[in-house]
Amino acid sequence: MRYQNVCLETLAYTLPEEVLSSDEIERRLQPLYQRLRLPEGRLELMTGIRERRMWAPGTRVSDMSVASGEKAIIGTGIDRSLMGMLVHGSVCRDQLEPATACRVHHHLGLPAKCLAFDISNACLGLLNGMVEVANRIELGQIQAGLVVGTEDSRPLLEATIAELNQRTSLTRSDIKTAVASLTIGSGSAAVLLTSRALSKSGHCIRSAVARAHTQHYRLCEGDHAGTEAGMLMQTDSEKLLEAGIETGAMTFADLLEETGWKPTDVTRSICHQVGGTHRKLMLESLKLPAENDFATFPWLGNTGSVALPSAMAIASEEGFLRAGDRVAMLGIGSGINSLMIAVDW
């Protein structure tokens, strides 16, 4: 997918105030740690994540998406009447029906002719939303569109901690599938895209490529496991890491072919924020230097679909992204799906 008329006008984010450290999670897991004689500090050592954030109990996902969307719109000064599409792309939603995008659309005061719908694709939902909006802009169907999403880690974290403490039959080998669930954090992000004619930023999307290596769909599965258990996720982290790196490398090769770039042409990269090992191996496989990559996972954890766009928003805010940079958005999610976007900053 190549674009000539699409600009990434702005990114915005909203973070929870409550901080949950990896040390605190281990304190809450003392029944498990004592029974299996697990060393303290293990969680941060394995993942590179020292803390993550959580919304207050009862927080409505759409409220945070509205907050992020409002920041994006105000930040650009774009007239709301020009918005032609709103996509809500996170895993977390208010309910199954109607689309969470409907409430966000209403509270943002977007026009009736602005399409509003949800996209769900694990950690790639917001990036998939970006491509949907970009395609509409490139075709001349709309002038601007907004992609928003909010992930709430509290239900999964609390259910996982309770399950690990209560199931006394678990062995050290058994708990490996739950480690990824303990890395999850909460956050919200928004991405506003416009046509070149409407853009003030000039951050142009050059290309997007995607791969679906769905033979690996069983490596990470999450669902509601019943009223008492709540949300639980099972992840084969080792196999997911291996297959994910392979999928990412092939997708990046596609991106280079699509853009005509070489790895050395990429001056900045933003990976999906999984953890320390994933980032190291992914960048090494793509031949991208770590100093040119921006990471938030040490203090935000893995915030799912909002991880990459929120990291990019923070990178922009902190001046990490500079005019003239060639930026690679390196998205990857369970499935395994990968979606990467090239941006001329």
CA distance 197 to 183: 41
DSSP 90: -
328: region left, alpha or beta (phi > 0 left; psi from -120 to 50 alpha): beta
Residue 87 inside a domain? The answer is no
Residue 55 inside a domain? The answer is no
For the entire predicted model, the pTM comes to 0.95
Paired residues of 260 in beta bridges:
none
- The verdict on whether omega for the bond into residue 314 sits within 30 degrees of 0, i.e. cis, is no
Q: Measured between alpha carbons, how far is residue 85 from residues 81, 132, 271, 305 in Å?
A: 11, 9, 26, 19
Residue 310 pLDDT class (50, 70, 90 cuts): very high
Mean pLDDT of the chain: 96
Residue 80 inside a domain? The answer is no
For residue 239, the domain's CATH number is: 3.40.47.10
Chain centroid offset of residue 128 CA: 11
Q: 326 — phi, psi (to 5°)?
A: -100, 110
pLDDT cut 90: percent of the chain above it: 94
246 is catalytic: no
Active-site residue (options: 123, 163, 220, 271): 123
pLDDT at residue 230, rounded to an integer: 65
Instruction: Convert the pLDDT of each residue in 124-136 to its tens digit.
Output: 999 999 999 999 9
pLDDT at residue 224, rounded to an integer: 72
Chain centroid offset of residue 201 CA: 23
Residue 309 inside a domain? The answer is yes
pLDDT cut 70: percent of the chain above it: 98
Residue 82 inside a domain? The answer is no
Residue 224 inside a domain? The answer is yes
pLDDT at residue 226, rounded to an integer: 52
123 is catalytic: yes
pLDDT at residue 93, rounded to an integer: 96
Tell me the mean pLDDT in the region 103-129. Answer: 98
Residue 312 inside a domain? The answer is yes
Residue 228 pLDDT class (50, 70, 90 cuts): low
Residue 88 inside a domain? The answer is no
Active-site residue (options: 17, 97, 228, 291): 97
Tell me the mean pLDDT in the region 148-165. Answer: 97
Q: How many domains does the chain have?
A: 1
Tell me which residue range forms the domain holding 209: 204-344
